[in-house]
């Protein structure tokens, strides 16, 4: 299932702008072998994982910082060690948590105990029982659902080894390499052939494992004919004094298997979110991405689907919200390799208060992908005239049997619609929030009810602030 060599080059993450190559700069990241060994030891890595990390470190040091997206010079890469040192305490006390985060907890109605855990200052939210109940139900199906640390030291070690960073190789980009060297936390799922998991697997309850929410690794393997829904995230802003998030998600969808991967992310507004998510589908396999991206100072996020097998299919439905001080560069990528493959991208971006949203997508239909179909649909809604919204869709079609469609719409919130809604008794803020929630509804409609409600609360909150 991990035979993906043919798709590795050219790099499928990089949107690098060839003309600006001379602008690359290098940093001497003070990350040493000793630090990596220390991390590895604390995590009780098997020997091969230590080797893996050390190799990733080498690659990290050799690679350049991507220069084609929003600036990330606010990251102190000369001092990268402060982001990854295992003993760096995340936040000292509740008092040090910024006011806007506390405020958001308040408005979203998160219980105090949970608030402290989410801010990384309290004892871990006691949710083991809930977690174990879920675990029991899926175990009856033979499904493995555990944290990465347990997976790698337990009986699935070989399976992890066969898949870990095979889809996102460490030399994919500099932050993938960094991830490979210092990753910590995350989830592992294996669904055996034919397993059908009715309930969504939720990783909400493990967000606060040490290092999670920063360099976590998610590895999901759905074997032939199996069906899984994995859902990750919560509306509470994840605060971390170390403001770099370089997670990695690798999804392996087997023959005729189906995986739905849903995420609602809300990063604190100081966060650099440089995340890599990728899926590969075998023959007849389907990957569905549902994605709501909120918060962060800068985001680079382009979940990628590799449609390797014939008749494989991908759907991406996403919404991004950029407010004041935010520069979000998000989108989706699809690589069609197999025959009769099909992909569908539907994204919505909302921009407000001088925020910047760039929708970036790429659809590649390789010569082998005969009779494939791709459809890209992106819409932007601007709340005010200070905000900026750009669309950078790319299509690279190498066969004349392909059927591709593309539609982009940029619009402003309609004053007439706001007046109409206010004439029924809604405040201006409520009317605007409802228009925006409606605009984002392709995503909320696909989420379980409680997540959809959370997302709408989050939109309301974002509309009220700044």
Partner 1 sequence: MSEYILDIKDLHAGIEGEEILKGVDLRIAAGETHVLMGPNGAGKSTLGNVIMGNPVYKVNSGSMIFDGKDLTEMSVDERAKAGLFMSFQNPLEVPGLTMDNFIRSALRERTGKAIKIFQFKKKLEETCSLLDMDEAYVQRDLNVGFSGGEKKKAEIFQLLMLEPKFAILDETDSGLDVDAVRIVSKGVDIFRKNGGTLLIITHSTRILEGLNVDATHVIVDGKVVKEGGAELVETINAGGFEGLKNE
Kindly list the residues in this chain that would bind partner 1 in the complex (CB under 8 A).
Answer: 414-417, 419-428, 430, 434-435, 437-442
Query: 316 CB contacts (<8 Å, ≥6 apart)?
Result: 288, 289, 291, 303, 305, 332, 334, 343, 344, 345, 346, 347
Q: Which two tokens stand for residue 304?
A: 């990628």
Residue 62 CA to its chain's centroid (Å): 25
Q: Name which of 73 and 416 has its Cβ closer to partner 1.
A: 416
Q: Name which of 173 and 432 has its Cβ closer to partner 1.
A: 432
Q: Name which of 50 and 417 has its Cβ closer to partner 1.
A: 417
The Cα diameter of the chain in Å comes to 67
Helix%, strand%, coil% for the chain, nearest 5: 30, 30, 40
Q: Name which of 312 and 437 has its Cβ closer to partner 1.
A: 437
Query: 283 CB contacts (<8 Å, ≥6 apart)?
Result: 255, 256, 309, 310, 311, 312, 338
CB of 415 to partner 1, least distance (A): 7
Q: Name which of 50 and 422 has its Cβ closer to partner 1.
A: 422
Q: Name which of 48 and 420 has its Cβ closer to partner 1.
A: 420
* Nearest to 356, CA basis, from 382, 318, 374: 382
Q: Name which of 209 and 410 has its Cβ closer to partner 1.
A: 410
Helices (H), 228-387: none
CB of 422 to partner 1, least distance (A): 4
CB of 354 to partner 1, least distance (A): 23
Q: Which two tokens stand for residue 107?
A: 């408005």
Measured between alpha carbons, how far is 440 from 454 in angstroms, rounded to an integer? 13
CB of 433 to partner 1, least distance (A): 10
CB of 268 to partner 1, least distance (A): 27
CB of 177 to partner 1, least distance (A): 40
* Nearest to 193, CA basis, from 147, 246, 146, 257: 257
Query: Order of strands across the sheet with 342-351?
Result: 201-202, 227-233, 258-267, 286-295, 313-322, 342-351, 373-382, 403-412
* Nearest to 88, CA basis, from 258, 240, 280, 297: 240
CB of 353 to partner 1, least distance (A): 21
CB of 417 to partner 1, least distance (A): 4
Measured between alpha carbons, how far is 105 from 101 in angstroms, rounded to an integer? 6
Q: Name which of 370 and 422 has its Cβ closer to partner 1.
A: 422
């Amino acid at each position: 299932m991990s035979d993906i060599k043919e798709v590795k080059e050219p790099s499928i993450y990089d949107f690098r702008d060839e003309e600006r190559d001379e602008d690359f700069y290098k940093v001497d990241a003070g990350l040493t072998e000793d630090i990596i060994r220390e991390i590895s030891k604390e995590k009780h890595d098997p020997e091969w994982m230590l080797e893996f990390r050390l190799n990733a470190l080498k690659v990290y040091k050799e690679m350049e910082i991507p220069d084609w997206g929003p600036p990330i010079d606010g990251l102190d890469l000369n001092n990268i060690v402060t982001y990854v040192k295992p003993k760096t305490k995340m936040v000292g006390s509740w008092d040090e948590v910024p006011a806007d985060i506390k405020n958001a907890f308040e408005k979203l109605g998160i219980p105090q105990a949970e608030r402290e855990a989410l801010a990384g200052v309290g004892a871990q939210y006691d949710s083991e029982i809930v977690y174990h109940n879920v675990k029991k139900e899926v175990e009856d199906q033979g499904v493995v659902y555990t944290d990465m640390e347990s997976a790698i030291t337990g009986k699935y070690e070989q399976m992890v080894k066969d898949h870990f960073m095979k889809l996102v190789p460490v030399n994919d980009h500099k932050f993938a390499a960094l991830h490979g060297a210092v990753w910590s936390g995350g989830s592992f799922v294996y669904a055996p052939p034919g397993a059908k998991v009715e309930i969504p697997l939720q990783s909400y309850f493990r967000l606060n494992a040490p290092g999670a929410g920063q360099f976590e690794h998610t590895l999901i393997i759905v074997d032939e004919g199996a069906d899984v829904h994995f859902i990750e995230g919560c509306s509470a802003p994840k605060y971390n004094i170390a403001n770099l998030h370089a997670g990695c998600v690798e999804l392996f969808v087997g023959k005729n298997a189906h995986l739905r991967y849903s995420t609602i992310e809300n990063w604190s507004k100081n966060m650099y979110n440089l995340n890599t998510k990728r899926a590969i589908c075998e023959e007849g396999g389907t990957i569905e991405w549902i994605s709501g991206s909120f918060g962060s100072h800068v985001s680079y996020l382009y979940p990628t689907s590799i449609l390797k097998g014939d008749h494989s299919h991908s759907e991406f439905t996403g919404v991004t919200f950029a407010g004041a001080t935010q520069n979000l560069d998000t989108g989706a990528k699809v690589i069609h390799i197999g025959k009769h493959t099909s992909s569908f991208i539907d994204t919505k971006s909302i921009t407000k208060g001088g925020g910047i949203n760039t929708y970036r997508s790429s659809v590649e239909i390789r010569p082998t992908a005969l009779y494939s179909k791709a459809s890209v649909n992106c819409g932007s809604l601007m709340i005010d005239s200070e905000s900026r919204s750009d669309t950078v869709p790319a299509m690279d079609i190498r066969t004349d049997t392909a059927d591709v469609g593309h539609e982009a719409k940029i619009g402003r919130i309609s004053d007439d619609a706001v007046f109409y809604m206010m004439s029924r008794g809604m405040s201006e803020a409520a009317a605007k929030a409802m228009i925006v929630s409606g605009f984002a509804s392709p995503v909320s409609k696909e989420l379980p009810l409680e997540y959809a409600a959370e997302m709408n609360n989050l939109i309301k909150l974002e509309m009220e602030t700044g």
